[in-house]
Amino acid sequence: GAVVSQHPSWVICKSGTSVKIECRSLDFQATTMFWYRQFPKQSLMLMATSNEGSKATYEQGVEKDKFLINHASLTLSTLTVTSAHPEDSSFYICSALSLGQTGTPSSNTEAFFGQGTRLTVV
Amino acid sequence: DAKTTQPPSMDCAEGRAANLPCNHSTISGNEYVYWYRQIHSQGPQYIIHGLKNNETNEMASLIITEDRKSSTLILPHATLRDTAVYYCISHSGNMLTFGGGTRLMVKP
């Protein structure tokens, strides 16, 4: 099946610094990518929807100036956690929808997930 | 996307079938039912999806009721490696919204 690669797998950073996480679709084009955050023993929470060539759409309660999303190409979206604090420590996961046979995502096109990035802010 | 509800946890004996239920009573006509699982500290893994017909692949079977208000994921011969959180999601084509999932524990 299709592959979504996320990098890095884990990162430790100092409080106040910024961290960039990359999400790449390796063998398909993805006009839409999603960023999730997962705290221990909780489900995935959608943070934002990233659309190639346009501004991301953020879910309620997610600060767009803190979590910068750039979707510059059909195969790459990045999430930058700016001025990270210990409460930002979490497991961040990206996913991508394939375009499907019609060239657009539909309810019959599966989402592929990256392996996740564990961020620890100290 | 329609809301789904699942039991928070289930146990299953190794080698036996694991039947994981999901309620999606508000699902609309064009929304598919997807199942993913997440093994600890990994990204979700696709298992199977369907619209109204039962589906089977190398991993599992999906049984959808005629009214489409519920479905059951069947792992025919559960192994210890099937221990994971299983998510049932209804997908309208825009995004996947995760509920709490079912934590399946396969025991020897």
Which residues of B are less than 8 Å from A44 in CB distance?
A: 38, 44, 98
Q: Which of B28, B42, B47 to mutate to test the interface with A (most CBs of A within 10 A)?
A: B42
Residues 6+ apart with CB under 8 A from B22: B4, B5, B6, B33, B35, B70, B71, B72, B73, B88
Q: Mean pLDDT, to the nearest integer, of A54-65?
A: 93
Strands (E) in A3-121, as ranges, are 4-7, 10-13, 19-25, 32-38, 45-51, 57-58, 67-73, 76-81, 90-97, 111-113, 117-121
What is the identity of the amino acid at B18? A
pLDDT band for position A54 (cuts 50, 70, 90): confident
Is B98 in CB contact (< 8 Å) with chain A? Answer: yes
Distance CA B68, CA B102 (A): 20
- Residue A49 predicted with pLDDT over 80: yes
Encode pLDDT of A76-86 as tens digits: 999 999 999 99
Instruction: Give the mean pLDDT of chain A.
Output: 89
Q: Which of A51, A90, A107 to mutate to test the interface with B (most CBs of B within 10 A)?
A: A107
Which residues of chain B register pLDDT less than 50? none
Encode pLDDT of B55-69 as tens digits: 999 999 999 999 999
